[in-house]
Structure 1
Amino acid sequence: MTTTTSHVPEHVPESEGPADVAAGRPVRLIHTESTTEIPVHLLFREEPASAPPPAEVEPRPAAGARRPDAGRDDRDTRDLRVRARAAAPGVDPAIVERPARVLPGIAGVIAGVCGTAGCVATGWWAGVLPPLAAEALGLSVRAGGPGPAQWAAFAGAGALGLFGFGGLARGRTGRAWVLGLFGRYRGTVRGTGLLWVNPLLLRRRVDVRLRHWRGEPLPAADRGGVALRVAVQVVWRVRDTARATLGVQDHEGYLRACVEAALLRVPVAAPGAGPGAVQTTQDALTRLVAADAGPVGVEVLAVRPLRVEYAPEVAAAMHRRRIAALDARHRASVIGSVVDSVEDTVTRLTMRGLVDLDDCERKVLVKDLTVAFCAGRGETGP
């Protein structure tokens, strides 16, 4: 749509007179400026939100090419991932499980065989190989003695054989090794089968299978503050071998201490409580123990109360209270039955006309019957 532009004359009066207003002309607010007519359809058009500028697309490298900073980016990403995993309170961020560098077992076997063969060849070269061994191997017998070169070759071959056979290890499912060198953590081996591990590294075996622990009754309390003794079953496993081995002196003892502390902080359902109260106690204990044991690499799956009983100092009082309640209930039932029997007897005697009693005689009869029935119940039992 085309737009028209109208220009205001140069000499325009400051204000319109009353005549112009009376004539219905609009009062001009802008003078000596150009005005433009705006199309009607543009006044009601919704302007789209300003889109962000297009991101610059980094050109992809050619096939087989490698960026010069690719290795640095990988290391930075790995370091950030390790730091994020180590964000646990009370634990050194450097103590985080990471895979150790190991080789397949066949590499150790080959190195050991090569070292042994090198020792045999060096012995034959130095002339110290026994004649029987030389004849068995199809070699000629040589005479002489070892020199500096033979000693160096023998040392190298022997070291290769020792490193090859000495580093062989068998990895098992559910078991892991925590490796250390001069007090520094070097990684964790979770592989299975025949592996080769550096023989200079110190190995600590850790059980990473799902385990359960059932301890002795521990002190606890219910919602009313009554002392209890609770035996619990803890289902747990080692999730981070580095923290469980190096972050705490004894992770099993630490787990027991966490369970004992949780029992003192969480009110336990009293004996005889419903399934809902027991489930609530189990969830609260599991959540609390898992939060306490998580920073040391121990994952707690469930903490189940198996046996809940009153403490010895409370058990006797609770037993007396239970006996008193039972006795009171029994007395109430006996008195109710005696009163019903007396009422039925007096009513029958009166309705059949066997006796004609006034109020005083009726009271005496009721009293005598009550005493007789209570005595009879006491002799025969309930």
Structure 2
Amino acid sequence: MNEKKALAVNGYFATLILVILLAGGIFLLVQEQFVTGIIAEAIVLVIMASLTVVQPNQAVAITFFGDYKGTIRKSGLWLTVPFSIRKTVSLRVRNFNSAKLKVNDVEGNPIEIAAVVVFKVVDSAKALFDVDNYEQFVEIQSETALRHVASKYPYDNFAGEAYSLRGNSDEVAAELSQELQTRLAVAGVEVVEARLTHLAYSTEIASAMLQRQQAAAILSARQKIVEGAVGMVQMAIGQLQEQGIVELDEERKAAMINNLMVAIVSDRSASPVINTGTLY
């Protein structure tokens, strides 16, 4: 079912006719022209039953004996199909905050995740007639899509070679929005934006994963320190040899490299031993 424009006449013009017919009917009844007066009053009742008010950023779907006649989107007072059923749906942008879900990432680690979905209704017919309750439909499908996306990626990628939930939040949000739009199109809903609002390891493994993150950070820092130390040692020995400050054989070069590496890599301040010569 797709939304279509309903037949509607300006309600203020209809109100003017309503007042004229009401006054005319009363006048005819006073003049004892009962048949004509009753017909006029009946027409007044029909017009009154046909008037409907549409608020800004709302849509009113018209059904007549189970047949969908269309939707009025323009705000104001309108005269539409008499004795019809009118269902109002909001076209405003709304937020849905999901609950904190406990899911397993692609590596099987239990994590807690939540998201906010910004959406609006763009097709009132689909929202009202293709699903039972489009707001509940958005809620259930949003949580389902969030579970599906969360299970496709690891919480964190320590190797840094692929996407992760923590390291690629923009890409994950884009994929979540795309999947939500596919799921919610049947309800006439457009997804404006979807973002993660909460992401953490589950309580039972949070301590262990924190230790893992700390260990990974220490290893990464040590790797950077060793790379820098090797470059500094190469530069120091190269400059000493180029400028002829000291001649180093292989044994003394190895000793100097060892001392420099220990001094640079150590996490404590070095305590140098100064050789002042020998007594003999």
* TM-score normalised by L of structure 1: 0.53
Provide the residue aligned with 1:44 in structure 2.
none
CA contact (8 A) 1:107 1:164 kept: no
Aligned residues: 233
Provide the residue aligned with 1:193 in structure 2.
76
Does 2:242 correspond to 1:336? no
**How is 1:265-284 mapped onto 2 (pairs within 5 angstroms)?**
265-266=148-149, 267=152, 270=155, 277-284=168-175
Partner SS, residue 317 of structure 1: helix
Q: 1:312 to 1:265 in 2, by over 3 A?
A: same
**How is 1:136-147 mapped onto 2 (pairs within 5 angstroms)?**
none
Q: Percent of pairs identical after alignment? A: 25
Q: Equivalents in 2 of 1:110, 1:320: separation in Å?
A: 77
Does 2:204 correspond to 1:309? no
CA contact (8 A) 2:141 2:183 kept: yes
Q: Equivalents in 1 of 2:106, 2:65: separation in Å?
A: 52
Provide the residue aligned with 1:51 in structure 2.
none
Deviates more, 1:169-178 or 1:287-296: 169-178
Q: Equivalents in 2 of 1:113, 1:339: separation in Å?
A: 97
Provide the residue aligned with 2:191 in structure 1.
300
Q: Post-superposition shift, 1:153?
A: 2.5
**How is 1:1-382 mapped onto 2 (pairs within 5 angstroms)?**
95-126=1-32, 150=34, 152-266=35-149, 267=152, 270=155, 277-322=168-213, 336-337=266-267, 340-341=270-271, 344=272, 347-348=273-274, 351-352=275-276
| Structure exhibiting the larger radius of gyration computed from Cα positions | 1
Partner SS, residue 318 of structure 1: helix
CA contact (8 A) 2:165 2:172 kept: no
Structure 1: unaligned runs, 5 residues or longer: 1-94, 127-148, 357-382
Partner AA of 2:178 in structure 1: R
What CA deviation, in whole Å up to 9, does each residue of 1:115-144 have, x standing for no partner? Answer: 311321122112xxxxxxxxxxxxxxxxxx
Deviates more, 1:168-177 or 1:289-298: 168-177
Q: Post-superposition shift, 1:316?
A: 3.4
What CA deviation, in whole Å up to 9, does each residue of 1:239-279 have, x standing for no partner? Answer: 11011111101111111222212122223573696997112
Partner AA of 1:188 in structure 2: T
Q: 1:116 to 1:221 in 2, by over 3 A?
A: same
Q: Post-superposition shift, 1:104?
A: 0.9
Q: 1:296 to 1:325 in 2, by over 3 A?
A: closer
Partner SS, residue 180 of structure 1: strand
Q: Equivalents in 2 of 1:282, 1:326: separation in Å?
A: 26
Q: 1:276 to 1:183 in 2, by over 3 A?
A: same
Q: 1:121 to 1:232 in 2, by over 3 A?
A: same
Q: Post-superposition shift, 1:224?
A: 2.8
Partner SS, residue 74 of structure 2: coil
Partner SS, residue 288 of structure 1: helix
Q: Equivalents in 1 of 2:205, 2:18: separation in Å?
A: 69
Q: Equivalents in 1 of 2:279, 2:64: separation in Å?
A: 108
Higher relative contact order (CA 8 A, sep 6+): 2
RMSD after superposition: 3.5
Q: Post-superposition shift, 1:184?
A: 2.5
Q: 1:276 to 1:270 in 2, by over 3 A?
A: closer
Q: Post-superposition shift, 1:281?
A: 0.6
CA contact (8 A) 2:57 2:75 kept: no
Q: Equivalents in 1 of 2:208, 2:166: separation in Å?
A: 26
Q: Equivalents in 2 of 1:255, 1:229: separation in Å?
A: 20
Partner SS, residue 21 of structure 2: helix
CA contact (8 A) 2:97 2:115 kept: yes
Q: 1:336 to 1:292 in 2, by over 3 A?
A: same
Partner AA of 2:147 in structure 1: L
Q: Post-superposition shift, 1:223?
A: 4.1
Q: Post-superposition shift, 1:339?
A: 8.8
What CA deviation, in whole Å up to 9, does each residue of 1:197-222 have, x standing for no partner? Answer: 23411111101122232222233444
Partner AA of 1:115 in structure 2: L
Q: Post-superposition shift, 1:327?
A: 9.1
